[in-house]
């Protein structure tokens, strides 16, 4: 076994990652939500305010967007970071955003409360080291073809830099199946929790690639022991510049939160959300 610091043998007790007043890995389910990419200031601030009312604990949004096509929307970069920071100030919620390049680590760390390492960079070891040195909590997404051991080894790179605030994020892996964008590996949740002390959250949006599958995958993840969820929410998915097909509308997201409450309670977790009285409302 090449990993030591992230191993359950090294630390029998679960690691709890604190992000401001938010705890990931505790008794409560942590819900992180927002558009895939920051597209527009007014839109993002509006969405952030709505998510705050629902009880979401952290906001997500990409300022730098790694895309398969070089011609696709690549994010607003510095402008996007400014918008994220403003949304964080307005709502009081921590911000999660991705860093793609070692040259941007310092800048992103100046804005983000949690630095996300995307699946394409899971084994970018230089980037992992730089992110670890910031001292900021790091969300590490599983690579699209990575084994669980390779994923844990990537986390070891971060922790070897003295940073133990790591959140593992399962977002689906590549299989022969083409109906979904990726195949969500539900078994990875209990597997990582058995092998490691780090908290595990799930991104059902990227796993499915289809908004209609996000809710059942989210509920299955919570039932399997996930510590939290990372979900894409967009006010007008059909007009989204990035991943609209897998984004929930605000109304659909509110409905999902309401459905998550009994699932979370069934596995001994609390779900702090105020979805029930907002399900039928819209921010549009």
Helices marked H in the chain: 41-54, 78-91, 105-111, 125-133, 148-159, 188-195, 204-208, 211-223, 250-266
Question: Are 34 and 63 spatial neighbours (Cβ–Cβ below 8 Å)?
Answer: no
Q: Which residues contact 277 (CB under 8 A, 6 or more apart)?
A: none
**pLDDT in the model for residue 148:** 98
Question: CA dihedral in degrees (182, 185, 189, 195; nearest 10)?
Answer: -110
Distance from chain centroid for Cα 43: 20
| pTM for the full predicted model | 0.95
What pLDDT, on a 0 to 100 scale, did the predictor assign at position 72?
84
Q: Which structural domains are found in the chain, ordered by start?
A: 17-266 (3.20.20.70)
pLDDT by position in tens, the chain (length 284): 689 999 999 999 999 999 999 999 999 999 999 999 999 999 999 999 999 999 999 999 999 987 788 888 888 999 999 999 999 999 999 999 999 999 999 999 999 999 999 999 999 999 999 999 999 999 999 999 999 999 999 999 999 999 999 999 999 999 999 999 999 999 999 999 999 999 999 999 999 999 999 999 999 999 999 999 999 999 999 999 999 999 999 999 999 999 999 999 999 999 877 654 444 444 44
């Amino acid at each position: 076994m090449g990993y030591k610091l992230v191993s359950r043998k090294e630390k029998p007790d679960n690691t709890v990652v604190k992000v401001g007043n938010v705890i990931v890995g505790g008794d409560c389910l942590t819900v992180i939500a927002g558009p895939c990419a920051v597209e527009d200031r007014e839109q993002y601030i509006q969405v952030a305010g709505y998510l705050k009312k629902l009880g979401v604990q952290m906001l997500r949004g990409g300022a730098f967007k790694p895309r398969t096509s070089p011609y696709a929307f690549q994010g607003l970069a510095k402008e996007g970071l400014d918008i994220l920071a403003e949304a964080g100030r307005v709502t009081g919620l921590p911000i999660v955003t991705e860093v793609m390049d070692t040259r941007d680590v310092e800048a992103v760390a100046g804005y983000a409360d949690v630095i996300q390492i995307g699946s394409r960079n899971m084994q970018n070891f230089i980037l992992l080291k730089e992110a670890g040195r910031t001292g900021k909590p790091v969300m590490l997404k599983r690579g699209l073809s990575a084994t669980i051991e390779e994923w844990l080894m990537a986390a070891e790179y971060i922790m070897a830099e003295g940073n133990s605030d790591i959140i593992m994020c399962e977002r689906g892996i590549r299989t022969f199946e083409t109906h979904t964008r990726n195949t969500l590996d539900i078994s990875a949740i209990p597997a990582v929790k058995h092998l490691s002390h780090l908290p595990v959250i799930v991104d059902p949006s990227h796993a499915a690639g289809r908004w209609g599958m996000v809710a059942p995958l989210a509920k299955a993840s919570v039932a399997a022991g996930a510590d939290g969820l990372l979900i894409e929410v967009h006010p007008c998915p059909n007009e989204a510049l990035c991943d609209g097909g897998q984004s929930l509308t605000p109304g659909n997201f509110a409905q999902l939160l309401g459905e998550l409450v009994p699932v979370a309670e069934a596995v001994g977790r609390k779900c702090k959300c105020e979805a029930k009285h907002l399900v039928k409302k819209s921010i549009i």
